[in-house]
């Protein structure tokens, strides 16, 4: 198989078949410090992009083989929105996908482009990256192609949210010493309040990065996540072993926390002490806290008092 990989089981999206639109060399508008691919100069083009037909043919074969796929994930050896036949491919995938949902993982560098937004709006789920909200941090961490401005990306995300009815997820990847500052998270919160995504995923480095950078602890991710208000936010990391002692809260504190910061089931398990988890269950039984589904992740929420 040349254009597809997996299926893999993803905590966030379920059972996923990956579709790679640039199986040759890495082609990306960024050169992120944490990239899992080898370092490479940013580019605005995929050299020799494959036409959609052989990709669709292969996806059809895989769909016949794996009948329990939750999502078909459009990705690339780099940035998938650089693929010049993206709209045609999405149309073709819609014809064959059956019950699976269509998802794209993008760095959002081209989201200011209206025709690209119109193509992405045809997808069931769109996951866009937003690691920084200030140009300085963006330049240091994501190392974009010359001329790409983080404020244009944020503006493009805002417009996309107004046009798009599907599930919009924004992902923040935190790197030690770069975007792990409260000030950066306050700027990110301002941007996210304007964008209003359905879910925010926040994580850190999990796999060997392209450059010498380090992850932050789960505890630090949690502290930083408290700057993001009133949006379902999932902390995604395998570094849970670094967590400090679980937190003990009263019912009032728990209600206050959940009103401002919905917690995923997984985060509840990692963060809260057993007696606080029992309290949470009581609040659910009383109807004062409820579970809300955002993609494959369920969040505990409460009304603000």
Question: Which residues in this chain contact ligand SF4 in the complex, by CB under 6 A?
Answer: 28, 30-32, 35, 37, 78-79, 107
Report d(CA 82, CA 66) in Å as an integer: 28
Of the candidates 186, 261, 253, which has an alpha carbon nearest to the alpha carbon of residue 222?
261
- Paired residues of 202 in beta bridges: 172, 235
Whichever of 184 and 267 has its CB closer to ligand SF4, that residue is 184
Q: Under DSSP, is residue 221 helix (H, G, I), strand (E, B) or coil?
A: helix
Say whether 18 sits in a helix, a strand or coil: strand
Q: Which is nearer to ligand SF4, 70 or 79 (CB)?
A: 79
Task: Provide, rounded to whole angstroms, the least separation between the CB of residue 31 and ligand SF4.
Answer: 5
| Long-range contact set of residues 117-120: C-beta below 8 Å, sequence gap at least 24 | 117/156, 117/159, 117/160, 117/163, 117/164, 118/87, 118/163, 119/86, 119/87, 119/90, 120/81, 120/160, 120/164
Distance of alpha carbon 219 from alpha carbon 241, whole angstroms: 10
Q: Which is nearer to ligand SF4, 109 or 276 (CB)?
A: 109
Q: How far is the CB of 280 from ligand SF4 (least distance, A)?
A: 35
If the CB atoms of residues 211 and 290 are measured against ligand SF4, the closer one turns out to be: 211
What sign has the CA pseudo-torsion 101, 193, 214, 219? negative
Phi-psi region of 287 (alpha: psi -120 to 50; beta: other; left: phi over 0): left
* Beta carbons of 73 and 97 less than 8 angstroms apart: no
Residue 298 C-beta: closest distance to ligand SF4, Å: 27
- Rounded-to-integer distance, Cα 95 and Cα 53, Å: 13
The order of strands in the sheet holding 71-75 is 4-10, 14-20, 71-75, 101-106, 125-129, 167-174, 199-204, 233-236
State the minimum distance, in angstroms, from the CB of residue 170 to ligand SF4.
Answer: 14
Nearer to ligand SF4, 34 or 160 (CB): 34
Q: In angstroms, what is the minimal distance from the CB of 273 to ligand SF4?
A: 36
Which pairing describes strands 263-264 and 233-236: parallel, antiparallel, or unpaired? Answer: unpaired
Q: Compare residues 28 and 172 and give the one whose CB is closer to ligand SF4.
A: 28
**Which CB sits closer to ligand SF4, 22 or 189?**
22
Cβ of residue 142: shortest distance to ligand SF4, in angstroms?
6
The nearer residue to ligand SF4, 37 or 259, going by C-beta atoms, is: 37
CA-CA-CA-CA dihedral for 106, 180, 302, 298, to nearest 10: 40
Q: How far is the CB of 119 from ligand SF4 (least distance, A)?
A: 18
CB of 265 to ligand SF4, least distance (A): 27
Phi/psi-derived region of residue 78, left when phi > 0, alpha when psi is between -120 and 50, beta in every other case? left
């Amino acid at each position: 198989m040349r254009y597809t990989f997996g299926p893999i089981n993803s905590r966030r999206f379920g059972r996923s078949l990956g579709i790679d639109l640039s199986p040759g060399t890495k082609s990306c508008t960024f050169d992120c410090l944490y990239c899992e691919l080898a370092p490479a100069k940013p580019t605005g083009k995929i050299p020799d992009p494959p036409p959609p037909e052989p990709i669709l043919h292969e996806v059809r074969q895989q769909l016949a083989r794996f009948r329990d796929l939750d999502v078909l994930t459009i990705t690339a050896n780099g940035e998938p929105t650089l693929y010049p036949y993206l709209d045609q491919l999405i149309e073709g995938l819609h014809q064959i996908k059956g019950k699976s949902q269509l998802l794209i993982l993008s760095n959002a560098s081209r989201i200011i482009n209206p025709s690209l937004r119109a193509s992405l709006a045809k997808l069931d789920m769109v996951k866009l990256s937003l690691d920084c909200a200030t140009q300085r941090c963006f330049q240091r961490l994501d190392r974009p192609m010359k001329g790409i401005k983080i404020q244009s990306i944020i503006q493009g995300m805002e417009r996309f949210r107004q046009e798009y009815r599907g599930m919009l997820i924004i992902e923040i990847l935190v790197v030690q010493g770069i975007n792990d500052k409260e000030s950066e998270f306050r700027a990110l919160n301002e941007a996210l309040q304007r964008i209003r995504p359905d879910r925010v995923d926040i994580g850190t480095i999990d796999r060997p990065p392209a450059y010498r950078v380090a992850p932050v602890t789960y505890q630090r991710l949690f502290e930083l996540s408290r700057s993001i208000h009133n949006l379902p936010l999932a902390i995604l990391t395998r570094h849970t072993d670094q967590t400090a002692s679980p937190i003990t809260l009263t019912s009032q504190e728990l209600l206050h926390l959940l009103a401002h910061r919905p917690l995923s089931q997984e985060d509840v398990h990692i963060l809260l002490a057993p007696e606080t988890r029992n309290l949470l269950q009581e609040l659910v039984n009383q109807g004062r806290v409820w579970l809300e589904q955002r993609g494959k992740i369920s969040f505990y929420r409460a009304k603000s008092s």
